[in-house]
Amino acid sequence: MASRKCLLFVLPLIWVVLACTCSGQELFFASTPEPVVLIATPTSLPEGAIAELDAEDALLVNLYQRANPAVVYIEVLVNDEETLLPFTSGSGFVIDTRGHIVTNDHVVEEANAVQVVFSDGTVAGAQVLGRDPYSDLAVVRVDVPSERLVPLELGDSSTLRVGQRVVAIGNPFGLDGTMTVGIVSALGRTLPAQVIQSSGRFSNPEIIQTDAAINPGNSGGPLLDTRGRVVGVNTAIRSLTGVNSGVGFAVPVNTVKRIVLHLIEEGIYHYPYLGISCQSGLSLAELEGPLELPVTSGVLVSEVITGTAAAQADLRGGDYEVAVKGVQVKAGGDIIVAIDGYELRDFDDLIAYLVRETEVGQRVVLKVIRDEEELEIPVILGERP
């Protein structure tokens, strides 16, 4: 009986302990402390820094307000039996109060009719005055009162530097008045021109590369510096998808200034022409070792086109072929190392110099290495076919 009484006594005690323990657990979970809420306070900036940021914003806002009225939406119409139908669209910008608008050649090349839409919604018919597929530039003209035209100032693309901020305004995907901001990401690029003649493929030199977002519909719109001056004409993108990938290209404004006046007055631009072809894809530095060349920079002449300025000056092309890095190279020809004292790194340099510094009928002097002998050969430049 004693042990039974002890058991009876112990059981209530265990029950009390268990009850207290459970009660404590319930109290513990019910009384979890409130989470501490931390309020993140931004690190304060000095008033001077804030003022600088506000000034940058104000600069871009002001630039857009000044430049956008000069940027137009260009709609291209083509004939479909007896009806004009929309075909493609792009951008352009006003350059004077006489109604002249610059755009890309590839925007208007198929046009049977062109309509221009201004930023205020005004619509005007336009006449294509001139086109140049080599530079991908064209000029159209609208007949509207001069007071309604807001021309953009043309800058100087020779002063551009990599890292400089630039602004693109245009109509990507038909979204009129779109502004994007970026930098000049490279200079001196070369793009293939749209045309291929029997005498070869031509290139568009000294192209500006930018990471300002450029998409289909931006073509023909201006690339501006932060003062609102045109430094280029947006013309192409490099992309595997057809949309912006951070690499866009613009024709430099100095090319525009050189060519546009001729397009207005004559409808075409006359390019100087030397009449040679050279090996593409390999630099002279890559060819120097395998071909035992005496120099590592310049232009190795592969072929001289019959009847051209180069042929008349007796320049010599290659006379045998050698495989270099799996590419058949025509070797044995002249190496042009300078033109009018301007040293050449490669064929792109030669093209850029001819386009930038010369004209049809001009006399130039080529410094040429032939059979390890240095010659100076005068050439009267012809006209590109």
Look up the pTM and report it: 0.80
Claim to verify: residue 225 and residue 291 sit in the same structural domain: no
Supply the CATH number for residue 351's domain: 2.30.42.10
Q: Domain tally for the chain?
A: 3
Whole-number pLDDT of residue 194: 60
User: In sequence order, what are the residues at sequence separation of 6 or more whose Cβ sits closer than 8 angstroms to the Cβ of residue 189?
Assistant: 206, 207, 208, 209, 249
Q: Are 279 and 301 in contact (CB under 8 A)?
A: no
Does residue 48 fall inside a structural domain? no
Supply the CATH number for residue 131's domain: 2.40.10.10
Does residue 3 fall inside a structural domain? no
Q: Are 319 and 332 in contact (CB under 8 A)?
A: yes
Does residue 89 fall inside a structural domain? yes
- Is 219 an active-site residue? yes
Among the options 100, 106, 132, 277, which is catalytic?
106
DSSP string, 335-378: EEEEETTEE-SSHHHHHHHHHHH--TT-EEEEEEEETTEEEEEE
Does residue 179 fall inside a structural domain? yes
**Domain end marker among 98, 131, 148:** 148
Claim to verify: residue 358 and residue 282 sit in the same structural domain: yes
**Domain end marker among 114, 148, 182:** 148
**308-327: per-residue pLDDT in tens?**
999 999 999 999 888 888 88
- Is 136 an active-site residue? yes
Claim to verify: residue 255 and residue 278 sit in the same structural domain: no
Claim to verify: residue 329 and residue 349 sit in the same structural domain: yes
Q: Are 348 and 382 in contact (CB under 8 A)?
A: no
The stretch 124-132 carries a mean pLDDT of 96
Q: Are 335 and 301 in contact (CB under 8 A)?
A: yes
Does residue 36 fall inside a structural domain? no
- Is 270 an active-site residue? no
Domain range enclosing 241:
157-265
**Domain end marker among 228, 248, 265:** 265
H/E stretch holding 16 reads helix 2-30
Which comes out higher in pLDDT, residue 277 or 238?
277
Does residue 256 fall inside a structural domain? yes
Among the options 105, 132, 136, 334, which is catalytic?
136
**19-57: per-residue pLDDT in tens?**
444 444 444 444 556 777 667 677 777 887 787 888 889
Among the options 219, 225, 277, 302, which is catalytic?
219
Most confident option among 82-91, 192-201, 239-248: 82-91
| Closest of 229, 180, 231, 226 to residue 55, by C-alpha | 226
Cα–Cα dist 244/251, whole Å: 17
Whole-number pLDDT of residue 33: 64
Does residue 106 fall inside a structural domain? yes
Does residue 88 fall inside a structural domain? yes
